[in-house]
Amino acid sequence: MPELPEVELTRRRLERELVGKRIERVVVRAPKLRLPVPQELHVSLPGRTVRSVERRGKYLLFHCETGWLIVHLGMTGFLRLLPGTAPPGKHDHLDIVFEDGAVLRFHDPRKFGTVAWTADPPATHPLLAGIGPEPLTAAFDAAYLFGVSRGRRVAVKQLLMNAAVVAGVGNIYANEALFRAGIRPDRAASSLSRAECGRLVRAVREVLQSSIDQGSTCRVAEGTVAYHPLDFEVYGRGEGACTRCDGALEEIRLGNRSTVYCPRCQR
């Protein structure tokens, strides 16, 4: 599933490719993904110019003059700008065709993605209104994390993955940040000290920014999304040895997600 770094890099690429382009028409091949695709796209988008491409959590926001197109890639979705002559495939569910002939195509084999439209400020849309602060901004700091963790019995990893607490931190980067901060993922969130909250905030920022700087983990090849092997310290390494102490890593399930940690280095 694309996480925040992958979505941010998609945003940067699409911003370079799309800003200033004028939309000619919209082709909807699947009336419903995770949610119904808005019928008004056929009326609202043609004739509009893409002014900016922004991100909120894992959502992409396309400012199209009179409103905002909101897109979530789901588990297997991706967006590509293609020549208008490229024939659609089985899982190509939405085309935005531009006046210069280019096509922005949404491919999503599992149909877990989302497409929405709003003429209001996007922050007020129900999909976005409850999202917490962006992890790479000053709003996500030690004082904030300490405050929202008080009285919370949920595991600290699950707290990090709660989009209402902090935007866009998924399974991969929650594992990595907790390892870097030296905190067990299954500890109760309320047990975190102020100092540990500070370490964890720094670790979240570092692992997300590092992935963005390296070009993220997501690659599109032959119509599918694949991950190239970044040097993760714990994620996906349940049978491996700790890169710090050489002890055996352990793998558990938290919230039905695979969770890998070092019982020596994380307390």
Residues annotated catalytic, as ranges: 2-3, 58, 257
Q: Residue-wise over 151-169: b if at least 16 C-beta within 10 A, else e?
A: ebebbbbbbbbbbebbbbb
Across the strands, what pairs with 63? 52, 68
Query: d(Cα 104, Cα 183) in Å, to the nearest integer?
Result: 42
Across the strands, what pairs with 214? none
Query: d(Cα 9, Cα 231) in Å, to the nearest integer?
Result: 19
Query: d(Cα 191, Cα 208) in Å, to the nearest integer?
Result: 24
The residue type at 46: P
Neighbouring CB atoms inside 10 A of 228's CB total 11
Query: d(Cα 136, Cα 57) in Å, to the nearest integer?
Result: 11
User: H or E stretch including 7?
Assistant: helix 4-18
Number of helices (H), then strands (E), in the chain = 6, 12
Of 211, 258, 218, the residue nearest 237 (C-alpha): 258
Strand (E) positions, 46-184? 52-56, 59-63, 68-72, 78-83, 92-98, 102-107, 114-118
Query: d(Cα 135, Cα 205) in Å, to the nearest integer?
Result: 6
Classified as helix, coil or strand, 242 is: coil
